[in-house]
Amino acid sequence: MHRWLTWDPPVALAWIGDAALKIGLLPAIRAPDLAKAGVLTRNRKAYDRNSNLALLCDRWNLYEHRIHFDAEIPRSARTINHAKGTLVESVFGILFLREGLKGVASATELLKPSPPRRR
């Protein structure tokens, strides 16, 4: 059976948080020209990509204090960032359940990506 078909509260919170984050980000990422869906997609990805979520996870020290039941095995940076992103999405899931989309939208400021560096 697929993991997502079983009741796993942390995974469920991450799914809720992921969906709430995508909706809650809309006020922060809207562009003057809404006809350009690619602009919205690019803006959203800057906020909700795992590498950006991992930065917030690190600020909150979530990864170091997670409860895990798997053996500690070496992981790639990509795998670790995915786990960190899932942890942050779980927090946003809790925030959505407690505060609704307004709470999620106000918290998206925490995910505002740094401007790209100029070369």
pLDDT tens profile 18-54: 999 999 998 888 867 666 777 788 888 888 899 999 9
29 located within any domain: yes
3-state helix, strand, coil in the chain (%, to 5): 70, 0, 30
pTM for the complete prediction? Answer: 0.79
Name the percent of the chain lying above pLDDT 70.
80
Q: Give the residue numbers spanning the domain of 77.
A: 8-111
Q: Is residue 3 part of a domain?
A: no
Q: Which residue has the higher pLDDT, 11 or 88?
A: 88
Total number of domains constituting the chain: 1
Main-chain phi, psi angles of 75, to 5 degrees: -130, 155
Q: Is the pLDDT of residue 1 over 60?
A: no
Q: What is the DSSP letter of 70?
A: S
DSSP 75-109: --HHHHHHHHHHHHHHHHHHHHHHHHHHHHHHHGG
Task: Give the span between the Cα atoms of 48 and 69, in whole angstroms.
Answer: 26
Judge whether 117 lies within some domain: no
Asked whether residue 116 is domain-assigned, the answer is: no
Domain-located, residue 2: no
Number of DSSP helices (H) and strands (E) in the chain, helices first: 5, 0
Q: Is residue 67 part of a domain?
A: yes
pLDDT at site 64: 85
Retrieve residue 99's tokens.
């505060």
CA distance 11 to 9: 5
> Rounded distance, CA 94 to CA 111, Å?
16
Residues 6-11: what's their mean pLDDT? 74
